[in-house]
């Protein structure tokens, strides 16, 4: 393919449906998905913004993350080929930023200027990737890698939420009643969300109202637990640390980055970490797109890997001039967005899933986040523990249907085998176990890398899952691999 061919092909494939993306709305699903994912994206921005603020000593914080998510999300919802994908900060990006900050601090270099230069180079590299059709390499990715990556991100959500909720148990100077209330609110948010999500299966003729409760379950849970906190809190609950106005950044610096505060050689050498950042963003974006487009829930309007990567590159480039965090496809949010827009049609014998492929929900989710920037004091009413409960819920829901996760559990709990897919039940036990054990080893390696000083190499280790998958054909029967995976090469 020649340069720009991928972007042109994406445009021709996807944009005949552009008008229908705004008008084909059904059954209140779009409204419920908008409310639910608004709180989810808000929680994501606050959590990763707070983490960034901690790891960069206030150079990049919540206000920057909220602004980047709102502006970037609106831009992406209107122009992307796959608006079901939701953008946001991610753990690997925050870790990369913290490593860059550590290097700058060690050598007494202005971090925000280096971050700006690194972001400019990263954006340029991503744009080059897009126009030279590098996303075509995603054809070598399969469910083997997709499921590992999706499970990793989901478990990070659950792990980080639980870690933040329980950290007070090991701090003597924190009031126990505050710890107890925080855990109670998180559990309440999770239980109400999970119960209401599944209540439609016990409808007994009240399916319409049960479906409404199911769709709005997370929203009901957040509002309910926030009211409980309002009634019971004595001032001991942790609240989001958000400035009251948009007048300045978290650190008080000017919004525009001063690129001249570092020597010329640093401006050039910034291309080295930028290359790793570009690989990370490329994989984050495209693996999430692959999960959405190649999963078991069918989409009919087509994909657009090249075009969407181009948009992420442009946003990374633009945001770097303001010292804003880089945002990319958020796997857990995108999977939950897809499921929230899914409808089950037909009867018990001929049921099938239909997805409302719309731009409306993504647009209003991020528009609401833009409005929040002018109502910052209201966001402080939502306790962090409620948001952590939502994180746990999203992580658990995202793991449902992850075939790798089910098979991994079945290695230790054989009764989980009843949740195998129809195809996996036809696979030999030896082949299934070999395939799963290799996935578990890859998952464990990725977890260790992302938690170590080698975190900057995290994207390289994700990419190595592809040749590892090719290697499996040497000792696992082809018939078993065909049933376990969708690899085509």
pLDDT tens for residues 474-487?
A: 888 888 888 888 76
**In this predicted model, what pLDDT tens digit does every residue of 336-356 receive, in sequence order?**
899 888 887 765 556 668 888
Phi first, then psi, for residue 487 (nearest 5°) are -65, 135
74-116 tens-digit pLDDT? 999 999 999 999 999 887 788 788 889 988 988 899 999 999 9
Q: Are 222 and 390 in contact (CB under 8 A)?
A: yes
Instruction: Output the pLDDT for position 487.
Output: 65
Predicted local confidence at residue 99, as pLDDT: 83
Position of tokens 């796959």? 82
Rounded to an integer, what distance in angstroms lies between the CA atom of residue 10 and that of residue 371?
Answer: 32
In the chain, % of residues over pLDDT 70: 90
Question: For 51-76, b where at least 16 C-beta lie within 10 A, e where not — what string?
Answer: bbbebbeebbbbbbbbbbbbbbbbbb
Residue 208: pLDDT over 70: no
| 34 token code pair | 């908008």
The pLDDT of 376-390, averaged and rounded, is: 82
CA dihedral 278, 279, 283, 285 (to 10 degrees): 10
What's the CA gap between 247 and 330, in Å, rounded?
Answer: 28
Nearest-angstrom CA–CA distance, 128 and 131: 5
**pLDDT for 203 beyond 60:** no
Q: How high is the pLDDT of residue 220?
A: 87
- Which one has a higher pLDDT value, 218 or 207? 218
pLDDT of residue 207: 63
Asked whether residue 442 carries a pLDDT value surpassing 80, the answer given is yes
225-238: per-residue pLDDT in tens? Answer: 989 988 887 777 87
Tens digits of residue pLDDT in 249-294:
888 888 899 999 999 999 999 999 999 899 999 999 999 999 898 7
- pLDDT computed for residue 219 by the predictor: 83
Is 327 in contact with 87 (CB distance < 8 Å)? Answer: yes
Reported as a pLDDT band with limits 50, 70 and 90, residue 366 is: very high
Query: Which residues are within 8 A (CB) of 139 and not within 5 positions of it... i.e. 6 or more apart?
Result: 488, 489
* pLDDT on residue 163: 83
| Mean pLDDT score across all residues of the chain | 85
Entry pTM = 0.86
- Give the model's pLDDT for residue 111: 94
Evaluate whether 123 touches 281 at the Cβ level (below 8 Å).
no
């Amino acid at each position: 393919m020649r340069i720009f061919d991928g972007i042109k092909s994406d445009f021709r494939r996807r944009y005949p449906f552009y008008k229908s993306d705004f008008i084909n709305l059904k059954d209140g699903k779009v409204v419920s998905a908008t409310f639910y994912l608004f709180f989810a994206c808000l929680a994501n921005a606050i959590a990763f913004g707070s983490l960034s603020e901690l790891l960069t000593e206030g150079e990049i914080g919540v206000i920057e993350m909220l602004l980047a998510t709102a502006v970037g999300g609106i831009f992406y919802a209107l122009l992307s080929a796959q608006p079901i994908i939701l953008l946001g900060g991610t753990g690997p990006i925050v870790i990369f930023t913290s490593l860059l900050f550590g290097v700058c601090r060690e050598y007494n270099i202005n971090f925000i200027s280096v971050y700006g230069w690194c972001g400019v180079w990263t954006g340029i590299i991503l744009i080059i990737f897009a126009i030279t059709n590098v996303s075509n390499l995603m054809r070598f990715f399969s469910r083997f890698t997709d499921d590992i990556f999706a499970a990793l991100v989901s478990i990070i959500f659950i792990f980080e939420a639980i870690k933040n909720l329980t950290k007070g148990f090991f701090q003597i100077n924190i009031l126990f009643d505050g710890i107890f209330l925080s855990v109670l609110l998180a559990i309440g948010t999770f239980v109400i969300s999970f119960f209401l999500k599944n209540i439609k299966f016990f409808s007994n003729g009240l399916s319409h109202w049960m479906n409404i409760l199911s769709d709005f379950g997370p929203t009901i849970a957040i509002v309910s637990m926030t009211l409980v906190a309002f009634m019971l809190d004595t001032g001991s609950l942790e609240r989001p640390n958000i400035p009251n106005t948009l007048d300045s950044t978290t650190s008080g610096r000017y919004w525009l980055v001063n690129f001249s505060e570092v020597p010329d050689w640093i401006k050039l050498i910034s291309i080295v970490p930028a290359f790793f950042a570009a690989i990370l963003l490329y994989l984050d974006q495209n693996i999430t797109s692959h999960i959405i487009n190649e999963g078991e829930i069918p989409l009919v309007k087509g994909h657009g890997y090249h075009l969407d990567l181009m948009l992420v590159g442009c946003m990374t480039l633009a945001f770097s001039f303001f010292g804003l965090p880089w945002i990319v496809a958020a796997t857990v949010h995108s999977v939950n967005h897809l499921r929230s827009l899914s409808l089950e049609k037909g009867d018990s014998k001929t049921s099938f899933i239909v997805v409302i492929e719309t731009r409306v929900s993504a647009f209003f989710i991020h528009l609401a986040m833009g409005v929040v920037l002018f109502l910052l004091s209201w966001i402080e009413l939502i306790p962090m523990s409620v948001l952590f409960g939502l994180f746990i819920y999203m992580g658990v829901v995202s793991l449902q249907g992850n075939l790798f996760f089910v098979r991994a559990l079945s290695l230790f709990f054989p009764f989980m085998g009843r949740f195998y897919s129809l195809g996996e039940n036809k696979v030999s036990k030896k082949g299934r176990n070999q395939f799963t054990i290799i996935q578990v080893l890859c998952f464990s390696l990725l977890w260790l890398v992302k938690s170590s000083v080698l975190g900057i190499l995290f994207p390289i280790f994700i990419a190595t899952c592809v040749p590892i998958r090719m290697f499996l054909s040497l000792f696992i029967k082809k018939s078993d691999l065909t049933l376990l995976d969708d690899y085509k090469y």
